[in-house]
Structure 1
């Protein structure tokens, strides 16, 4: 679910600003800034790779170690609506004059200090990375000529929309950190079946990708269907995965995710030649192939289940 956070922010902000009369270049640029802000909360995954090297075991064991390590800090301090709001204020202040920049530094420094005091050194280090990322994106926004209001809107939407995308997978984020109250107590279930729930979560992620593709094509006056190559229909061969890989669940999703993404990569390869500059066709064709593969898997899985 990592990619969808940023793409949702891109689509919403770019479409909104375009509707408000902004030029397509400015709308797309601010959409990319919002996309970057929407991705920042997941910097708390930087600690997780330690799990890949902790202990022995095969690929699945190491993958499990990776996610176990990530739970120490993932979806905690950086996924808070309170932290996100302060981060947006800090980013906005950073794009102002010298006095405002000092205010921004103070706000973000307080985030690091309070987090370290309340949650320890690891959480404090993650918050430091979070604040540095916020400053980096805010700096990029300033160099692109965006004012404080635009930066605040992009930062606020990106940082605050991110945690809600995580309610379908794993433990819900700590929305109100550092407060002990929890906004959502448990994971939002798409289905009572673990496999159908995972497939539903994948469907939500694919929907955000399609929204971003539609937004980009709409703003740039392109026809989405012109960028879908016919061989994307080869995703239907993924039906063979139903009897050959374990039914995917949140606890065991790796074989499904890796293999279904492989279908998208294979179908996008013919358009990946950088000399052709057809990245959009490659991306949309790959996305179509993955969507066809997932839908085929869902239908085949339910037929065989019956």
Structure 2
């Protein structure tokens, strides 16, 4: 869900900005800032890298991924996913966007003090590991704010809203893929304490969760096409239809679940990547002389066209896999 968090926040922020009268470029910029902030809470998985040091202790070919995720459970979806922490951190990050040289140092000191306070809170509540993760979270947010200050003309208030939306939109995507986040950290959360089950069959639950992620990707691509005045359908190459062959995998491979999904996720993404990479419709043509005749030389295929074709292929592959699974494999 890492990608989905960022792309969903990007799309909604950009579309809201456009609706409020912003031009396409500025709407895309504020969307990009919101998307960057939406990705920050998952910086807590950095601690899980320590699990890779011991992955050989876990048997099987999936030892490394298992060790990684086992280690991540110590801090993942806790402090950095809190709505309360986000409400405090977002305006603190925006203080680093103030460009008025006469007061920039003062407000940045205030922002630093707030963020140091969050790190201290995590240290008191959960110890050094949580404090380390909160420090990474704070540093990442300051970095995004600094890039926004240098690369955009967005005001501190706009960055504050983008940061708040990004941080607050992130936790909801985790409701179907794992243990729910600690919504009100450091306080106890009395609601949404268990995973939302989309289907009692674990494989169909995974496919539905993957479809939600895919929908977020499509929303982002639709947003880019809308704000750049491009036709989405015209940019999807027919090679995306090759993804239908992926349905046969449902008959040959072990059905994936949230516990073991690597073979499904990696293979279906490879299908999309191959279809996108093979996208050969030229976007431009130049002419050169060859024996007195003019010969067309294909230009580069736009990145957006490749991305749309790749995502289209993944979508076709998912629908084909789900159809074959339900028809021939599902235990009902």
Structure 1 segments of 4+ aligned residues over 6 angstroms from their partners: none
For the pair shown, which has the larger CA radius of gyration, 1 or 2?
2
User: Residues 24-43 of structure 1, C-alpha deviation per residue, up to 9 Å, x if partnerless?
Assistant: 11111111111100100000
Structure 1, gaps ≥5 residues long: none
Structure 2, gaps ≥5 residues long: 99-103, 283-298
Partner of 1:195: 203
User: Residues 132-163 of structure 1, C-alpha deviation per residue, up to 9 Å, x if partnerless?
Assistant: 01111111122212112101110000001000
Partner of 1:88: 90
| 1:288 partnered with 2:295 | no
CA contact (8 A) 1:175 1:182 kept: no
- Structure 1 or 2: larger helix share? 1
Partner of 1:123: 130
SS across alignment from 1:100: helix
TM-score by length of 2: 0.89
Partner of 1:302: 326
Counterparts of 1:36 and 1:271 in 2: how far apart (Å)?
A: 28
Counterparts of 1:171 and 1:288 in 2: how far apart (Å)?
A: 30
Counterparts of 1:249 and 1:161 in 2: how far apart (Å)?
A: 25
- Mapping of residues 64-213 of structure 1, within 5 Å: 64-96=66-98, 97-143=104-150, 144-213=152-221
- Deviation, 1:168, is 0.5
Count of aligned pairs: 306
Counterparts of 2:36 and 2:177 in 1: how far apart (Å)?
A: 21
Give the CA RMSD over aligned residues.
1.6
- Deviation, 1:58, is 3.9
CA contact (8 A) 2:235 2:308 kept: yes
SS across alignment from 1:285: helix
User: Residues 205-235 of structure 1, C-alpha deviation per residue, up to 9 Å, x if partnerless?
Assistant: 0000000000000000000011111011010
CA contact (8 A) 2:2 2:39 kept: yes
Q: Does the C-alpha gap of structure 1 residues 277 and 50 become closer, same or farther in structure 2, counting only changes over 3 Å?
A: farther
SS across alignment from 1:59: coil
SS across alignment from 1:106: helix
